[in-house]
Amino acid sequence: MKLYKISIPKRKLRSLTERELLFLVQMGSILNEVNALERLIFLSYKSPDNQIELKAQKYQSFFLLLLLIGKLWEIWRLLQNLYFKGQLSKEYESYLPQEGKDSLKYIKNYYSKKGAWLKRVRDKISFHYDLDSLRKEIDKMPDDAEFEMYLSEDQGNSLYIS
């Protein structure tokens, strides 16, 4: 991997409009967050021989995926508010290569037509705790289902796997 450092003095940042400045700084942060979550998801996936460790590992991967799903929805909202609804898309789209234009078109199409599931996951289990939905899910569990809890000397982890 090749890294490049770009230094932007504050006086240059201040020459940007408020919307441009917020978009630039927030997108840099978002790229770091998504990259970190993606790496953690990759690192969390291993196949231990022990079935208890395997179930715990799967839950940890699932948790990281929930965080990523929530982040993706928040990124979509940010793009809508700071990029698409403002002048930024009109002002900067001509500077994008065709691949970038195609990617933005794909993102807009996906989120406007199929992306609602991301919002539901974010609102119900990823970023919020919807107790009514939790009660309903518990009620749906078969009577012979077992709630499993995994404990160690250092930490605990509980999960339900059918």
Cα-based distances in Å from 146 to 56, 105, 131, 134:
15, 45, 20, 16
Which residues make beta-bridge pairs with 35? none
Angstrom distance (rounded) from CA 59 to CA 64:
9
pLDDT (0 to 100) of residue 133: 83
Residue with tokens 């691949």: 99
The pLDDT tens digits for 44-95 are 877 778 888 888 788 888 889 999 999 999 999 999 999 998 789 989 999 9
Residue with tokens 């992306």: 115
> How many CB atoms within 10 Å of residue 148?
14
Task: Please give the DSSP secondary-structure letter assigned to residue 83.
Answer: I
